Amino acid sequence: MKQTRTVFGLLIMILFAVPILFGIIWAVGFTQAVVSQKTLSQLPGEVIAEIPELLDGMMLAARDEDSDMDYETRTWLNAIAGTGTTPRAVMKEAGLTDWLQKELTASLASIGDILNGRSDARDVWLDMRPLKSALGHPAMESWLAQVLERLPECSAGQAVAWERILSGDGPGDALPACRPANTQGISPVAAVAAVRAWVIRDIPDRVNLMENSDLPRGRFNLAKTVTSFAYLLFLIPAAFIALGALVGAGSTSHFFRWSGAAIMAGGGLVLALSSLVKGVVPWAMRVGPACSAPHWNPWQEAFADHAGGLALVISRHFMSPVITVAGAVCVVGLLLFAFSFTFTRANGA
Q: Which of 24-38, 41-55, 290-304 has the highest mean pLDDT?
A: 24-38
Q: How far apart are CA 203 and CA 84, in angstroms?
A: 30
* Residue percentage of the chain with pLDDT more than 70: 83
Residue 302 reports pLDDT greater than 80:
no
Higher local confidence (pLDDT), 52 or 340: 340
pLDDT of res. 35: 86
pLDDT of res. 265: 97
What is the rounded end-to-end Cα distance, in angstroms, of the chain?
28
Q: How far apart are CA 274 and CA 270, in angstroms?
A: 6
Read off the pLDDT of each residue in 144-164 and give the average, rounded to a whole number.
85
Q: How far apart are CA 176 and CA 17, in angstroms?
A: 56
Dump pLDDT digits (tens) for 165-175: 777 665 555 67
pLDDT of res. 57: 72
Residue 305 reports pLDDT greater than 90:
no
Burial class (CB in 10 A: 0-12, 13-18, 19+), 344: middle
Alpha carbons within 13 A on the beta-carbon side of 111: 21
Where would I find the H helices in the chain?
2-12, 18-35, 37-62, 71-82, 87-94, 96-98, 105-115, 129-135, 138-149, 156-164, 188-200, 222-232, 235-248, 252-291, 298-305, 308-348
Read off the pLDDT of each residue in 57-68 and give the average, rounded to a whole number.
69
Mean pLDDT for the chain overall: 83
pLDDT of res. 25: 96
Dump pLDDT digits (tens) for 248-297: 988 899 999 999 999 999 999 999 998 788 666 655 555 444 444 444 45
pLDDT of res. 170: 57
Dump pLDDT digits (tens) for 307-336: 666 777 888 888 889 999 999 999 999 999
Dump pLDDT digits (tens) for 185-211: 667 777 788 778 777 888 999 999 988
Q: How far apart are CA 271 and CA 162, in angstroms?
A: 52
Dump pLDDT digits (tens) for 72-117: 888 888 898 888 888 888 988 999 889 988 888 889 889 888 888 8
Read off the pLDDT of each residue in 128-156 and give the average, rounded to a whole number.
90
Report the C-alpha dihedral over residues 92, 93, 94, 100, rounded to 10 degrees: 20
pTM of the model: 0.76
